[in-house]
Chain A
Amino acid sequence: MWTTHGPLDETSMLERLVTVRDLPDNYALEIEWFLRVGIDLSGVPPHLQGGGAAYPGELVRRDAHVILKRNPTEVSALAGGPAKPSPNDVTVGLTGVEMAGEAGGIK
């Protein structure tokens, strides 16, 4: 039931093991599964075995859906997904310009 992929650092884990499923709010991620490697897998806390909320460094079942509390832009970038727009982002629409003849000339 439990799988290890280590030893990996957290960045590698995010790149290789985490699938970002959704960004439900600014500071939480719902991910498909998250594994911490390099620890005794037999010591998995029972309350995490059914999935649910988990935080960096915590171990959960491979098939569990978990919430990872982290800066969403950073995590989605590490996971290879599109970055979620930051509240600080600004988008403006440009308008075009026209080159036309002078009045009385040929247009």
Chain B
Amino acid sequence: MILPDWMYNTRTRGLRLAKTYLQRFANTQAVCTSFKVEILNGIHAFGTTVVRGATTKDSFKAALFLVSATINAATTAYSSTGEVTGTGYTAGGIAVTNATAPTSTGTTAFWTPSASLVYTTVTLSTAFDCVLIYNSTQGDKAVSAHTFGSQTVTAGTFTLTMPTNDATNALLRVA
């Protein structure tokens, strides 16, 4: 049957409205993006947590590890085992500059230190290839391990530059 134009147009509009109606009220399973940011900010605790004395952010440090070390996802806390040693380097590494709070783009929460990690004038003669970011406020608990090409440094400054702080490249991402 061929419908007159006015009837055809009315039917088409009706279908479009129905589709819009369904989309508006559809539910979608997801981890809430705000929650991802709040994980990074220490808001939620599904298990036993710690008593926090203040609302201030924690302090984080960055320690370098030898190629021969075993730092990985199973690392729970900083330990000097396998850490580099040498002139100008202090066990435990250096403080991480953290002036930029975690944020999100799309459905990914992310955080990146706000400055490069700079180990000034060090001599590290044994090859190293990993930096461990850890929370020096919370018992040196491990945060993340990042590997790079094997390095040695002789009386020089070793600098680890940061990736772009976005949902794709940030140093720490919750996707």
Name the distance in Å between B75's Cβ and chain A's nearest Cβ: 12
Residues of B within 8 A of A42 (CB): none
A97-B173, A98-B175 given; A86·B156 CB < 8 A: yes
Beta-carbon contact of B172 and A96 below 8 Å:
yes
Report the number of A-B residue pairs with Cβ-Cβ less than 8 Å.
Answer: 80
Q: How far is the CA of A89 from the CA of B155 in the complex (A)?
A: 8
Chain B's closest residue to A98 (CB) is: B173
Beta-carbon contact of B162 and A89 below 8 Å:
no
Any B CB within 8 A of the CB of A3: no
Interface residue stretch chosen among A15-23, A33-41, A50-58, A99-107? A99-107
- By the criterion of a CB under 8 Å from any partner CB, how many residues of chain B are at the interface? 32
Beta-carbon contact of A97 and B159 below 8 Å:
no
Beta-carbon contact of A89 and B156 below 8 Å:
yes
Any B CB within 8 A of the CB of A43: no
Q: Which listed residue (B117, B144, B159) contacts A90, Cβ 8 A?
A: B159
Beta-carbon contact of B155 and A97 below 8 Å:
no
Beta-carbon contact of B156 and A92 below 8 Å:
no
Any B CB within 8 A of the CB of A46: no
Residues of B within 8 A of A89 (CB): 153, 156-159
- By the criterion of a CB under 8 Å from any partner CB, how many residues of chain A are at the interface? 19
Name the distance in Å between A29's Cβ and chain B's nearest Cβ: 20
B144-156 vs A, CB cutoff 8 Å, 1 = contact: the mask equals 1110110101111
Q: How far is the CA of A101 from the CA of B29 in the complex (A)?
A: 13
Name the distance in Å between A55's Cβ and chain B's nearest Cβ: 25
Interface residue stretch chosen among B18-26, B47-55, B79-87, B163-171? B163-171
A71-107 vs B, CB cutoff 8 Å, 1 = contact: the mask equals 0000000000000011111111111111111000011
B16-37 vs A, CB cutoff 8 Å, 1 = contact: the mask equals 0000000000000111000000
Task: Other than A96-B169, A106-B29, give 14 A-B pairs with Cβ distance below 8 A.
Answer: A85-B157, A86-B156, A87-B156, A90-B153, A92-B148, A92-B149, A92-B161, A94-B171, A95-B163, A97-B173, A98-B173, A101-B31, A107-B31, A107-B107
